Structure 1
Amino acid sequence: MFLYTQLDPTVAFVSVLAILIIIFGLILKRFKQPYIIGYIMIGALLGEHGIGLIKDTESIHHLGEIGIILLLFFIGMEISLPELVKQWKLAVIGTLLQVCISVLIVIGIGYFFNWNIQRSVILGFVIALSSSAVIIKIIQDKNLITTRIGKNVLSVLLMQDIIIVPLLIITSIIGGKEEPVEKIILMVVGGLLVMAILVYIYIKRSIKLPFESKLENDHELQVFAAILLCFGGALLASIFGLSPALGAFVGGMVMHVSKATDWIYDTLHSFRVLFVALFFVSIGLQIDFQFIIKNYVVISIVLLSVYLTNHFINSFILKLFSCKWHESILGGALLAQIGELSFLISSSAFSLGILGSFGYKFTISLISLTLLISPFYISSTEKLLKILQKKKLMKLHKIKK
C-alpha cells in the first residue's frame, strides 16, 4: 500500500481552483454578475500576495494567453467582415483620438506633479487602451456582439490591438532603445499580409476548406484541425511581431466565410472556457493587496479619474460617429477600464527605466483593479440608463395625457 506524504502541487492547484470557481460562480450567479470577477479574485487569493498556492505565475499567464487566442478566434467566427468594415472610421479616427486625448490629459496632470514628459506619454498610452478580453467576454455574455454598440466597441478594441505595435515602438524610442529596422519591416509586412487576407475574405465572401469533407464524421481529427486553424493564425501573426490574438481573430473570420463554424465551435468551446478562466486568474495573481492598502488614497483618486476620463472620451467619440446618447454612454462604460495590453507597455517602460519600481507597481495595481471593477461599473451604468429611460418614458406618457 502506497501512502503519499506530499501533495502533488499541480493536482492541488487544479482541485482548489475548480472548488473556488464553483463557489464564487454560484455566488456571482446569485447576484447576476459575470464570472470574470470571480476568476480575478481567485487569482488574487491564490497568488504570492494571497495564500501563496500559485508560485509559477509565468506559466499560468502563458496558459491564460491561450484563452485570449481562443476567445478572439471565436469572436472572429461570429463577425461578418462587411459589417465590421462599415465601422472603419470609428475604429481608426476614434482610437487615434482616444490615444491623443489621453496623452494630453496625462501631460497636463504631470505638469502639476513635476513628472517628466516621457513618463506622462507612457501613462497616457497605458490608460488609453481598453480590455479586449474583458469587454469581448461581457458583450458576448450580454448578446451585444451583433448590435450596433457591440460592433462599434468591437471595432475600437480591434484597432487598439493593432495600434499596440507602434505604441511599443514609440515606448522603446522614448526609453532610448531603437527598434531594429528589420523588426519594423517585418511588422509592416505582417500588417500588409493581414490586410491582404481581409481583402480576400471581403471579395470572396465564401471559402471552402480543402479537408472539410474528410473531417465531417471524425471527431478526433476535428479537435486537432480546429486547434491548427485557431493557433495557425496566432502563430503567423506572432512571427511578424503582431498580436497573436489579432491573428486568431483573422483566422476566426476565415472560418466564418468557410461555413465550418459549427463543428469548430463544438470542438473548442470547452478549451476556451478553461483557458479564458486561467487568463483572468493570471490577472488576479498580479494584485498586491499590501501595496494597494498602503497607497489606497492616491490609487483611489487615480482610479476614479481614469474611469471618468475614459468614460467621457469614449462616449464623446461614439456620439461623434452617430451613436445615440444612451448607446454612447454604455459604450463609454464598456471601454472605460485599462486593458491587459497596457501590461506590455508598463513592462517595457519599466525595463527601459522610464518607470521606476514604485511607478511600475502602481501601474500594475491600477490596471488590475480597473479590470476587476469593470463588470460592476458596466452593470451600474446599465441600471442607471434603464432608470433614466424609464423616467423619460413616464414623462412622455404624462405629456400625452
Structure 2
Amino acid sequence: MVIISALASEINLLLIISLVVVFLGLILKRFNQPYIIAYILSGVILGPHGLSIVTDINVAQNLGDVGLIILMFFIGMEISLPDFLRRWKVAFFGTGMQVIFSLILMYILGSILGWSINRMVLLGFIISISSSAVVIKLIQDQANPTSKTSQNVISILLTQDILIVPMIILLTLLGGDELDVNQVILQVIGGVLIIITMVILIKKQKIKFPFEKILKDDHELQIFAALIACFGIALVTSLFELSASLGALVSGILINASDSNKWLHDSLHSFRVVLISIFFISVGMLIDLFFLKEHLFTISILVLIVYLSNHGINAVSLKLLGNTWRESLIGGSFLAQIGEFSFVLATLGLEQNIITIYGYQITIIIIAITIFISPFWVVITQKILGSS
C-alpha cells in the first residue's frame, strides 16, 4: 500500500508539472515565445519558493543534469570537427577575450566596492560563461544553426565549456585548499585521451561503430544503443574527474563522423525534450521570489550590468574577429546570459569561502534570471537589427 501511495504521489506530481508546462506553453506559443520560458516559470510556480508542490530541488537538479548531458550529446552530433577547427580563431580568441574582459570588469567593480582579488576572479569567471543549454535551444528555435553567426556562437560556447576544468582548479587554489594531486593527474590523463581521440578523428574523418548495420532498422534496440553512446563516454570522463557533459559532447562529435548520426538523433529526441525541460524547471526552482522582492533594486542593477557588459564584450570580440557589426551584435545577444556551469563555480566559491551566503544567493538568482531573460533579449536585439 505504501508503494502504491508513493507511486500515486509521483504520478500526481508528474501530471501537475505537465499541466502547468502545457498551459504556460500554449500561452507563450500565441506570442511566438520559446518554451524555455514556460519551463522556467513552471519551476518558479511549483518550486519551494512558489506553491511548494515540488520541495526536493536536488532530485530535479539531478534529472536536469542528465538532461544537460543529453543536450551536450545533441550539440556534439551537430558539430563537424574539421569545420570547428576552421573556426579556431573565433573559438580561441573569442572565448579568451570574453574571459579577459570579464575579469577586467570585475577588477574595476571590485576595486570600487572593496572586494578581495579572489572574489573578483570568481565573479569574472562566473559572468564569462554563457549557457550552452539556452543558446543552442534558441539557435535551433529562432535562428539558422548553419549560419555564420550561429556557428561562431557555438564555437565560443564549446571552448567555454572546456575552460570550466582549469577555472575550477584555479578557484580551488585561490580558496586556500590543497590541490588534490591525484585528481589533477586523472584530469590531465583524461584531457590527453580526449585530445588523442580528436586527433585520430581529424585524420580518419569518418569512423564506424560496431553493429551499425544491424541496428539501422531495429528501432527498439536503437534507443538503448543511443543511450549507451550518449552516457558511455560521459561516464568515462567523469571517472577521470572531468565533466560528464564534456564526455557527452565528445561522444556526439564522434557520432557526427559516423553513419549513425540520424537514427541516434531520432532515437533520443523524446528523452531530450523531457529531460532538458526538467533542467530548466530546476533553474526556475532556484528563483526565490521573496529574496528577489527584498533585493529587487540590487538584483535588477546587477542583471542589467551583466547583460550590457556580456553583450558588449562578446559583440566587440566577434567584431574584432572579422564579423560585421550586425553579426557581432546578434551573436553577442545569444551569449549575454550567464550559463548553467556558473552554478558550479558559485557553489565552489561558497565552499572555498570566497563569497558569503548572501553573495551566493545573489549570484544564483542572477544566473537564473539571466537565463530566463535570454530569449527576450535575443528577440529584442533581432527586432532592432532586423530579422536574422
Q: Do the two structures share a fold, i.e. TM-score over 0.5? A: yes
Q: Which amino acid is 1:191 matched to?
A: G
| 1:221 to 2:221 alignment | yes
Q: For 1:6 and 1:197, how far apart are their aligned partners in 2?
A: 45
Q: For 1:347 and 1:30, how far apart are their aligned partners in 2?
A: 38
Q: CA offset at residue 191 of structure 1?
A: 1.3
**Which secondary structure does the structure 1 equivalent of 2:51 belong to?**
coil
1:227-264 Cα shifts (integer Å, max 9, x gaps)? 00111121122112222122111111111111112221
**Which secondary structure does the structure 1 equivalent of 2:257 belong to?**
helix
**Conserved? CA contact 1:126–1:342, under 8 Å:** yes
Equivalent in the alignment of 2:40: 40
Give the unaligned 5+ runs of structure 2: none
- Alignment identity in percent? 45
Q: CA offset at residue 306 of structure 1?
A: 0.6
Equivalent in the alignment of 1:350: 350
Q: Alpha carbons of 1:6 and 1:150: their partners in 2 closer, same or farther (altered >3 Å)?
A: closer
Equivalent in the alignment of 1:397: none
Equivalent in the alignment of 1:8: 8
Q: 1:92-171 maps to which residues of 2 (within 5 A)?
A: 92-171=92-171
Q: For 1:295 and 1:54, how far apart are their aligned partners in 2?
A: 24
Q: Which amino acid is 1:39 matched to?
A: Y
Equivalent in the alignment of 1:265: 265
Q: Which amino acid is 1:26 matched to?
A: L
Q: CA offset at residue 143 of structure 1?
A: 4.3
Equivalent in the alignment of 1:60: 60
Q: Alpha carbons of 1:319 and 1:55: their partners in 2 closer, same or farther (altered >3 Å)?
A: same
Q: CA offset at residue 206 of structure 1?
A: 1.3
Equivalent in the alignment of 1:71: 71
**Which secondary structure does the structure 1 equivalent of 2:362 belong to?**
helix
| 1:17 to 2:49 alignment | no
| 1:283 to 2:270 alignment | no
**Conserved? CA contact 1:94–1:156, under 8 Å:** yes
Equivalent in the alignment of 2:306: 306
**Conserved? CA contact 1:21–1:42, under 8 Å:** yes
Please tell me the root mean square deviation across aligned C-alpha atoms, in Å: 1.6
Q: CA offset at residue 55 of structure 1?
A: 1.5
Q: CA offset at residue 6 of structure 1?
A: 8.8
Q: Alpha carbons of 1:257 and 1:5: their partners in 2 closer, same or farther (altered >3 Å)?
A: closer
1:279-317 Cα shifts (integer Å, max 9, x gaps)? 000101111011111011111111111100001100011
Q: Alpha carbons of 1:65 and 1:6: their partners in 2 closer, same or farther (altered >3 Å)?
A: closer
Q: For 2:265 and 2:5, how far apart are their aligned partners in 1?
A: 42
1:338-375 Cα shifts (integer Å, max 9, x gaps)? 11111001000101111111000000010000000010
Comparing 213-222 with 162-171, greater Cα deviation is found at 213-222
Give the unaligned 5+ runs of structure 1: 390-401
**Which secondary structure does the structure 2 equivalent of 1:258 belong to?**
coil
Q: Alpha carbons of 1:69 and 1:6: their partners in 2 closer, same or farther (altered >3 Å)?
A: closer
Q: For 1:299 and 1:159, how far apart are their aligned partners in 2?
A: 29
Q: For 1:218 and 1:308, how far apart are their aligned partners in 2?
A: 50
**Which secondary structure does the structure 1 equivalent of 2:217 belong to?**
coil
Q: 1:305-384 maps to which residues of 2 (within 5 A)?
A: 305-384=305-384
Comparing 353-362 with 237-246, greater Cα deviation is found at 237-246
Q: CA offset at residue 7 of structure 1?
A: 8.4
1:24-57 Cα shifts (integer Å, max 9, x gaps)? 1111111111100110110011111011111221
Comparing 266-275 with 248-257, greater Cα deviation is found at 248-257
Q: For 1:226 and 1:104, how far apart are their aligned partners in 2?
A: 43
Q: Normalising to structure 2: TM-score of the pair? A: 0.96
Structure (1 or 2) with the larger CA radius of gyration: 1
**Which secondary structure does the structure 1 equivalent of 2:242 belong to?**
coil
Q: Alpha carbons of 1:175 and 1:32: their partners in 2 closer, same or farther (altered >3 Å)?
A: same
Q: Which amino acid is 2:320 matched to?
A: L
**Which secondary structure does the structure 2 equivalent of 1:319 belong to?**
helix
Q: For 1:303 and 1:174, how far apart are their aligned partners in 2?
A: 26
Equivalent in the alignment of 2:202: 202
Q: For 2:96 and 2:176, how far apart are their aligned partners in 1?
A: 24
Q: Which amino acid is 1:326 matched to?
A: R
Q: 1:223-242 maps to which residues of 2 (within 5 A)?
A: 223-242=223-242
Q: Normalising to structure 1: TM-score of the pair? A: 0.93
Q: For 1:41 and 1:20, how far apart are their aligned partners in 2?
A: 9
Equivalent in the alignment of 2:192: 192
